[in-house]
Amino acid sequence: MNMQMTGLRAWLVQRVAAVYVGLFSLYLLIHFTTDAPGSYSEWRDWVGHPGIAVSWALFFIALLLHAWVGMRDVLLDYVHNTAVRLVALLGLALFLLAQGLWALTVLLGAGT
Amino acid sequence: MTNADKDPRPKYLNLLQIRLPVTGIVSIAHRLSGVLLVISIPAGIYLLQHSLGGPDEFSSLSGFFSSSAVRLVLLLIVMAVAYHLFAGIRFLLIDLGVGEHLPAARRGAWSVVGATAIAFLLALFVVI
């Protein structure tokens, strides 16, 4: 996560990530309404399938990048004290990074 | 910002008296739903982890989701997802120049409200 990520690039990352997250969510909705996994092994096999696991990993990466840009905008709009703002942005970055590592660990566990 | 105290211009920030147009409400609600969704990310990853933690943990989740308090929170999060998605699609369309000007922007905002209402009814059927 790049603190220097400014203007156009952040805007583009936000939109591209939004489209991926939206499409993947739609895919999940369709998958769970038409072909919901009926048992633990079915569920784990589905998540552990290489193509699905990679799509899930990309989903979390896109989701967290999208969250970063969105929350960064919120903090920049409402937190004006420079020190508080920096601490808040740092806390946000660490939080999102931790979420990403956690999600990827869970997905790696399902793939083995 | 530094001269805020000396600034002689009047301030009018009584939130109860400011009447936001529907486009403004859709915009601030998009922001609020986004913040709510960021806060619920850990719960999502936690559930994913448990669903993959073994047959026992997997089946214990159906007990977890049978609680009505859990279902209510789930309904709230699902609605935040649906709303954030609909309002987000509207913003992407505006980026492309669709529904950019005021009458169309208002129609777009009302469409987001309508789509969310329909999603709410569908979600009620599933969750309740």
Classify residue A3 as exposed, middle or buried by CB count within 10 Å of its CB (0-12, 13-18, 19+): exposed
A 10 A CB-CB count for A57 gives 16
Residue B126 confidence class, pLDDT cut points 50, 70, 90: confident
The pLDDT value given to residue A108:
93
Q: Indicate the domain borders of chain A.
A: 2-110
B35 touches chain A (CB under 8 A): yes
Q: Give the per-residue pLDDT at A28.
A: 96
Supply the pLDDT for residue A7.
80
Helix (H, G, I), strand (E, B) or coil at B10: coil
Cβ within 8 Å, pair B52-A43? yes
Q: At residue B102, does pLDDT exceed 70? A: yes
**pLDDT tens column, B63-75:** 899 999 999 999 9
Torsion of Cα atoms, B89 then B93 then B96 then B101, to 10°: -140
Q: What is the CATH number of domain B22-127?
A: 1.20.1300.10
In the 3-class helix/strand/coil scheme, how is chain A assigned residue by residue? CCCCCCHHHHHHHHHHHHHHHHHHHHHHHHHHHHCCCCCHHHHHHHHHCHHHHHHHHHHHHHHHHHHHHHHHHHHHHHCCCHHHHHHHHHHHHHHHHHHHHHHHHHHHHHHC
The DSSP secondary-structure symbol of B12 reads -
Interface residue B31 vs chain A (CB under 8 A): yes
User: What is the overall mean pLDDT for chain B?
Assistant: 90
Convert the pLDDT of each residue in A54-94 to its tens digit. 999 999 999 999 999 999 999 999 999 999 999 999 999 99
A112 in B contact zone (CB under 8 Å): no
DSSP for B36-78 reads HHHHHHHHHHHHHHHHTS-HHHHHHHHHHTTSHHHHHHHHHHH
From the list B41, B58, B89, which residue is nearest A40 (CB)?
Answer: B58
User: CB contact, 8 Å: B27 with chain A?
Assistant: no
pLDDT at A6: 67
**pLDDT of the residue at B5:** 64
ipTM: 0.91
Give the model's confidence band at B4: pLDDT under 50 very low, under 70 low, under 90 confident, else very high.
Answer: low
Cβ distance of B41 and A63 shorter than 8 Å: yes
Q: Where are the domains of chain B?
A: 22-127
pLDDT tens-digit series, residues B8-59: 777 767 777 778 899 999 999 999 999 999 999 999 999 999 999 999 999 9
B45–chain A Cβ distance below 8 A for any pair: yes
pTM: 0.89
Gap between the Cα atoms of B36 and B76, Å rounded = 10
> Measured between CB atoms, which of A22, A70, A110 is closest to B34?
A70
User: Is A2-110 assigned to CATH 1.20.1300.10?
Assistant: yes
Query: What local confidence, expressed as pLDDT, does residue B111 receive?
Result: 96
- Site from B13, B45, B62, B126 to mutate, A interface, most A CB atoms within 10 angstroms: B45
Q: How far apart are CA A19 and CA A25, in angstroms?
A: 10
Q: Is B43 left (phi over 0), alpha (psi -120 to 50) or beta?
A: alpha
Question: Is some CB atom of chain A closer than 8 A to the CB atom of B13?
Answer: no
CA-based nearest residue to A67, from B45, B72, B13: B45
Percent share of chain A, pLDDT over 70: 93
**Nearest CB to A43: which of B31, B34, B51?**
B51
